[in-house]
Structure 1
Amino acid sequence: MKKVIAILVLAVGSVFTVNAQDKMMKDKMVDKAVKTIALEQTEGEFTQKQVTVSAGTYVFEIANNGVDHNVGFVLVEKGKDISKPENHIQTAYVTAPVGTNSSQTSKPTTLSKGEYVYFCPLNPTATDNTLIVK
C-alpha cells in the first residue's frame, strides 16, 4: 500500500511540475512577443515624429523629458476624428500621467497594418506624429 501511495504522489507531482514548466515557457513566449515603443516628449512636441514597426503587440513607454507638468499619450487610427475619445485606442493610454523627468507605460496594445497618429492631450503636441505598421 505504501508503494502505491508513493507512486501516486510521484505521478501527481510530475504532472504539476510539467504543467508549471509549460506555463513558465508560455509566459516567456508571451513576454517576448510584446515589444516596446519608446517615445519621448519635450516641451510641446514628441522627439520622434514618425515610427515604423511590424504588426504585433506593443507597450508604449512615454518619457517626459523636462516638461514641467504631466504628459500623456493618445493613439488613433489615421483618418478618424482624434477629438472623440471613442476613436482613441484606450489600451495605448499610459497607465498614469507621466511626471517631469519620468516615464510610464501603456497596457499591451495589438497593432494591425495601417497608419496611426499620436499626440499628447496634456502637453499640446502636433497631431500629425505618425506610427506606421507594416
Structure 2
Amino acid sequence: MATAEDLKDALRENLERNGKLRKIKAQLRADVYSALNTSSEADQKAAPQLSSESLLINELIREYLVYNQYRGTLSVFLPESGQPEVRPFERSFLASHLNVPEGPNSVQLPLLYSLVEMAAKGRTQPPQAKPT
C-alpha cells in the first residue's frame, strides 16, 4: 500500500513532468508580489521614472514574456519596472526605431530574437579585450 509520502512524490513528479508545478510556483510568486506591492501606497507612489531607453527595452522584454507565455513573470515585471500596463509602442515602431528588418517569418517572433540573430551574424570574430 502506498504511503502518503509516496503519493506526494508521485504527484510532484507528475506536476513537474507536465510543467504545471513550474506554472503554479510562478503564479504563487506573482500573487505574493502583487499582495505585497498593493499593500503599500508609498511603494506605488515611488514607481521608477523610466528613460526612453528603459521604456524600449522593457517593451522588448514584455513582448518576449508574452510570446513565451511567462504570465507570472510578466505580472511581476510590469509593476516592478514601472512599465505602463498599456503598451506605449506598436511593434512596427520598435522594429523601425531599432532598425530590425521585418519579414513574413520574423513578425511571428519577438524582436529580441531578431536582435540576437543580427548580433550573432554581425560578429565575425570573438570580442577582443580592451587595452588597458
TM-score after normalising by structure 1: 0.28
| Greater fraction strand | 1
Q: Indicate the structure whose relative CO is greater, using CA pairs within 8 Å and at least 6 residues apart.
A: 1
